Amino acid sequence: MPNKQGRKKLCSPLDAVINNTSLIISREITNEKSATTLERSHTMSLLKDSYFNVNEAPSLPEDKEYHVFFSYEYANRDRNWVKAVVRELENKGFKCCVYEKDKNQSQSFSSNIQHFIDKSMRIVIVLSNTYINGDWAKMELEILSRGNVNDLVFIPVLIEPCNIPPFLKDCMFINATCKQVKWWDQFLELIRGACPQLPPKKKYHAFFAHTSRNKPWVADVVKMLESPKVGIVCCYPARNFKKGQSKRESIEHALRRSEKVVVVISDDFVNQEWRLYYENKVRSKDIIPVIVEDSYIPPALDECEAIDARSDEFHWLPNLFSAITDSVYVPSVTSLSRDDPDYASTSLSDISEKSQTISVV
């Protein structure tokens, strides 16, 4: 019988990541064992306590490339913290953007940062004293604060006590310095966002069936639903149908890849388009009729609960959100309107009832 002492202990990939990171941090703090550095290494060990399944990342809208962009101090040990977190997120299927890895060498620093902001659903700002006081970080914070902050989703993560940039004062913080709090679970909830994950072989939460006359209306609604603060992935003919493919083939493909079908009811759709969609077996899908003008409704939709969107305002949008996500919870999208300033200030915690963060005073 083999000697028990001779057996090698097997470790999971996550254990290996954390152990390697802890080793790196331990080497770095040999000559400088400050309390904050030791605390930072401790927070990394909390990752062991929460090991989720792989491929938890939600689908990305057409105009986004990354789930999260990390803003942090590049020339400091903060980099090791980010590396470990990014590796774990990528193991779960999230697409992470890091300046050192994803920058375009032919573009300026500010152009790269602006591109990352535009193409990311969320922005994680890793706050430490070295980040706040670093020259490159100051430039990056300046770029972030100059943008339309209200249209972005910031997730500030405090890895050591430090001054808070003014434009982040109203944000909720993840406190990654507290031993008693398992910040990783809270952090992952915010990275996931409020929208449910799509099942395998599905690419869109909702496919919008409409006519060319209603294209501007659909584009406005999709823009709001796909915003980083909501995160629903949509498909509609004017944007997603490929050139060279017949309309019938495009419809069949969109129906196969979509969870729900939003049928935009208007006279011209019922008279011109309905039969084409019906013949493409839309009747077997989960249909959400949305009435945009007085019109005859096909008998096949009689048993569907329609949403009345004939008002110029968007007070009905929470009902559409709930119908698409099968959620009883109505988020704070009651003010999702192109002309309503409250839309831009809707916080991620308002959208997701699960999100629990730590407010740092």
Mean pLDDT lowest for which of 66-80, 184-198, 341-355? 341-355
End-to-end CA distance of the chain: 59
Question: Which burial class, exposed, middle or buried, applies to 294 when counting CB atoms under 10 A from its CB (0-12, 13-18, 19+)?
Answer: exposed
Q: Which two tokens stand for residue 197?
A: 């994950």
CA atoms within 13 A on the CB side of 236: 24
Q: Are 68 and 120 in contact (CB under 8 A)?
A: yes
pLDDT at 149: 53
CA atoms within 13 A on the CB side of 241: 19
pTM, two decimal places? 0.62
Domains located in the chain, CATH noted: 66-192 (3.40.50.10140), 204-330+351-359 (3.40.50.10140)
**18-37 mean pLDDT:** 44
In terms of pLDDT, which residue wins out, 106 or 344?
106
Question: Would you call 10 helix, strand, or coil by DSSP?
Answer: coil
Q: Which two tokens stand for residue 194?
A: 């409020």
Q: Give CA–CA dist 175/214, Å, rounded.
A: 46
CA 285 to each of CA 200, 239, 254, 288, 310: distance values in angstroms, whole numbers, following the listed order: 17, 21, 12, 9, 24
| CA angle 284–242–61, rounded 5-degree value | 75
Q: Give CA–CA dist 317/330, Å, rounded.
A: 10
The model's pLDDT over 34-83, given as tens digits with 9 standing for 90+, comes to 444 544 554 555 454 444 445 678 888 888 899 999 988 876 778 888 99
The strands making up 66-71's β-sheet, listed across from edge to edge, are: 96-98, 66-71, 120-127, 154-158, 174-175
Percent of the chain at pLDDT above 70?
Answer: 72
**229-256 mean pLDDT:** 88
pLDDT at 327: 60
Residue 172: pLDDT over 70: yes
pLDDT at 44: 52
- Which single residue is written with the structure tokens 């962009």? 69
pLDDT at 68: 94
The model's pLDDT over 301-347, given as tens digits with 9 standing for 90+, comes to 888 889 999 987 788 998 999 899 886 433 333 333 333 333 222 23
Percent of the chain at pLDDT above 90?
Answer: 22
User: DSSP per residue over 14-48, as a string?
Assistant: HHHHHHHHHHHHHHHTSS---HHHHHHHHHHHGGG
